[in-house]
Structures are given as structure tokens and as C-alpha cells.
Amino acid sequence: MKIAVIQSDIIWGDIAGNIAAARTMMDREPDADLYVLPEMFTTGFNGNCETQPSEGLAFMQEEAKRRNCAVAGSIALGLEDGMRVNRFYFVTPDKVVYYDKRHLFNYGGEGRQYRAGNRRAIAEWKGARFLLTVCYDLRFPVWSRNRKDYDVMLCVASWPVQRRYAWDTLLRARAIENQCFVVAANRVGKDPSCVYDGGSVILDPLGKPIAVCRDGVAETVAGEVDLKTLADLRASFPVLADSDEFSLSRD
């Protein structure tokens, strides 16, 4: 399976402009099976939120059908009850799976504006199972622990440059401990609060890079995820069989 990671420079609050930029960046890898866009790719973090029906979701559905692919990314979405969610959509030509970000970044005020999700979400596409996670979720390994229910962890983010070392380290840890591929799409550029330098990457189950975006550059990179290689590794080194059992009170 060919996966393309979109490392975009999100225009603050400009939904139409960000959608147009995302389409152009997808065109750079026209034959990918899955495209992964950053967190809040239509507005930026804590910019204007979308309302339903979502323009970003409509774009993802259109591209999934036109390209016969899957498209993944998160959207800041206002709900009918007046609350907001940070909603990660995984869209295929005939289905939409979504996950509302569970771990809100209260240090940056996200919890004052958004409602946390309370369920994990796993999407399936072309024989692969994808765990959906968003940014700050990366710091909480119990939530993302592989229960033998996914093959690829997707993490979309607006992760700032000052915590880049943690980003790089945690992504590799999640790949190694869960014996999974990790596909991470972070943004570049600036917003009123932060500077972002990317670090978008595709990692193999040993934590080694398959494809890497250049720091600070808005670009698209792609890599192959081989499920047979994953199955062979898990069979030859079955660490997941020795995993601890966790009880999640809010799961």
C-alpha cells in the first residue's frame, strides 16, 4: 500500500485556501492509496472552526471518490449543540469513519473550546487496519496500545518546533512498542501562537524511517507499507502476546 503524507503550511482560518493547497499537494503523488493531512488542515489550530456540513469533509469525500483512495485528516468542527470537536476523519470512496480527539491539549487551552472524545476508532482500507490519533494523544501510550486490532497508527498534528524532540522520540516509541507502522503528518509554518517545522514521517514497526519530509518545507512524501513484512515480524518476534492488560475507565 502506498501512503502519501501531506506536510502543509496551513493558512490561518482560510478554509477554501487550505483545501486548494491540499488538493495541489495530493496531486504530487497521484497514485497513492491513502493521503494523510495534518491536524485541523482546513483552519489551523484554534483558528475558525467549520460548521456542518463540513467543507473539509466534502473535499475529502470528493477526492476519495475521484482518486479511488482513502483520505485522512482532522477538522475543527462546530456541532449543533454549540460545542466543538477536533474530529479526525478517515474517508474512503463509500465510507466515513471518524474519531474525536480524546486528549485535549489543556496547556494550550484546547479543553476550554473543545469537547473530548471517548472512544477509539479503527478504520479499514485495502486489508489494513488504521488506528486514528491526533497530536497530544501521542503522549498517552495506554490509549494507543495495540490490542492486536490495528496495523498502522495514524497521527495527525500541529506539533510546535519547541517540542520537536519529544515528537520524534514518541513516534518511534509508539512504532516499536506496538509493532506497527506509524504514519505522522505534522504541519509547517506559523500561526499567532507557534512555529512548526514538520517532522512528518512514515516509520516501520522497528521505528526506522520509510519516508521523511524535510524540516520546514511544505511537501508531500510517500512510502510503501507492506503488511506481509509486518505479519512476518509479529510471527517471528511476538511481543504483543506478552502485553499488559489495561482497564480504561473512560473507554
Q: Which residues are catalytic?
A: 39, 101, 135
CA distance 142 to 172: 15
CA distance 133 to 206: 19
Q: How many C-beta neighbours within 10 Å does residue 245 have?
A: 6
Q: Is the dihedral of CA 121, 179, 134, 19 positive or negative?
A: negative
With contact defined as beta carbons under 8 Å apart, do 161 and 197 qualify?
yes
Task: Tell me the three state secondary structure of residue 74.
Answer: strand
In this structure, the chain runs to a length of: 251
Alpha helices in the chain (DSSP H): 15-27, 55-67, 110-113, 164-178, 227-236
Q: List the Cα angle 110/142/187 in 5-degree steps.
A: 45
CA distance 41 to 248: 30
